[in-house]
Amino acid sequence: MPVVDAAAFEARKRAFVERLEREALQGRVDEDILPLLRLLNTHPRIYTTSSCSGRIMVAEAVRPSFSKGRGFRPVAKWHHPVPPDLVREVVSNVEYAWLMVRGAILHVAAADAKTAYKLVEIGRETGHKHSGIIAMNRAGIFVEILGEERLDIPIKRGSPIADIDAAMDLANKTLILAKLRLYWLAARLEAELFGVEAPTSEEIRRAIRRVAQCLG
Amino acid sequence: MPVVDAAAFEARKRAFVERLEREALQGRVDEDILPLLRLLNTHPRIYTTSSCSGRIMVAEAVRPSFSKGRGFRPVAKWHHPVPPDLVREVVSNVEYAWLMVRGAILHVAAADAKTAYKLVEIGRETGHKHSGIIAMNRAGIFVEILGEERLDIPIKRGSPIADIDAAMDLANKTLILAKLRLYWLAARLEAELFGVEAPTSEEIRRAIRRVAQCLG
């Protein structure tokens, strides 16, 4: 088994933290997740590599998988809810269009197995069901934390095949719930890795269910 | 860190293998994946826990996440492509319906980190992008291998919001590609863990791309 090397870990961490701050200055980092990434990077046994707070995307593709890089073309991306008219406009020039929502995804490197495993546990506890250790090498043990919110709506195949107002209503609500799940994750990470006082998972889960009911 | 205990591993393996064979006799195991599970269980450092070869599902739910167990009700499941009329019939009695496709998911326990990591690598190499080590305890290091084929299409919210013919065309094709990805995984597992001669990943990837093109 490859074992994490302290010098390799530190060197890679420095490079990733510098990249994050450079991209933040350029306004290229998703603001809904930047504070959490910065906090995680203050932990001596952790650094973040690439992450997204959740997004709505319109893509041109016959189908989303087995075509990435071959006829899969992202047309527009937003990290926040968007009005249906904007999506209608974006879709008007595309022949095959998918409306996709993806929940948060975080990639975090840990210096040791115990820390990596803790990250996986917190991910799974907060409903990021497909979290796991995905790779390990001298520079770290790499954890993916992946939210379960997801939506794939084929909205155009030559002619329109979905009601864009109804689709966007769902897409926007799905994204809002994905963001709430991310804040749940952030609260538990703050509590368990940094000793910050935070609501319990049960309290947060109840609060999110109330929002979900209000959204209808 | 918890360490795998040989006796606990063997005891748990025996229980899972017995359960698999009992359920197979009852016709309750997905036949597209049973031969692979049986093969994996012949490996001394491995046992399988729960797996699915990929499926199409209609579920009644306002939305699939934040409602599991609360208003999330599977209405029908198939491990093979299905005609749109069957889905239309199933959906006709439901107010809020989602059409969901899931690629293969395998849960495999390994007796040591090296074997677990090998499983993750083969999963990722065959495009099961969200594969990782998700838990570890005395009975094993648990790996989830998860395909990237997935569709979550809202098809009815009171009134229909998606064209069922178009949605089913996509769902069926997505399931077919997910099954091919599973066979790719099976071939590489056979080659790398059992020394069986198998096509290379590049050959398989090309073959799958040809099928994807034929599907249109």
Model confidence over B167-214: pLDDT tens digits?
898 899 999 999 999 999 999 999 999 998 888 888 888 888 888 878
Q: Residue B1 domain-assigned?
A: no
The parent domain of residue B158 ranges over 6-215
Question: What is chain A's pLDDT, residue by residue, as a tens digit (216 residues)?
Answer: 558 999 999 999 999 999 999 999 999 898 999 999 999 999 999 999 999 999 999 999 876 665 555 678 899 999 999 999 999 999 998 988 889 999 999 999 999 999 999 999 999 999 898 899 999 999 999 999 998 888 988 888 877 777 888 889 999 999 999 999 999 999 999 999 999 998 898 899 888 888 888 887
User: Which residues in chain B have their CB less than 8 angstroms from residue A148's CB?
Assistant: 65
Which residues, 6 or more positions from B70, have their beta carbon under 8 angstroms from its beta carbon?
A209
Output the DSSP codes for B141-152: EEEEEE-S-EEE
Q: Residue A103 domain-assigned?
A: yes
User: Smallest Cβ distance to B152: which of A113, A114, A151?
Assistant: A151
CA distance B112 to chain A (A): 10
Q: Residue A1 domain-assigned?
A: no
Would you call A134 an interface residue with chain B, using a CB distance cutoff of 8 Å?
yes
Strands A159-160 and B105-110: unpaired
Q: What is the pLDDT of residue B208?
A: 85
A177–B65 C-beta distance less than 8 A = yes
CATH of the domain at A98: 3.30.1960.10
Q: Residue A118 domain-assigned?
A: yes
DSSP structure class, residue A172:
H
CA distance A162 to chain B (A): 5
Question: Does pLDDT of B40 surpass 90?
Answer: yes
Interface test with B, best of A4, A45, A133 (most B CBs within 10 A): A133
Cα(B140)–Cα(A209) distance, integer angstroms: 34
Q: Residue A35 domain-assigned?
A: yes
Asked whether B107 and B143 are in contact (CB, 8 A), the reply is: yes
CA distance A196 to chain B (A): 24
Q: In Å, what is the CA distance from B101 to each residue of A23, A75, A99, B94, B174?
A: 36, 24, 16, 18, 7
Q: Please, where are the H alpha helices in B53-163? A: 84-91, 113-125
Q: Residue A130 domain-assigned?
A: yes
Q: Residue A65 domain-assigned?
A: yes
Q: What is chain A's percent helix, strand, coil content, to nearest 5?
A: 45, 25, 30
Q: Residue B75 domain-assigned?
A: yes
| Domain count within chain B | 1
Chain position carrying tokens 């989830």: B144
ipTM value: 0.83
Interface test with A, best of B98, B129, B131, B134 (most A CBs within 10 A): B134
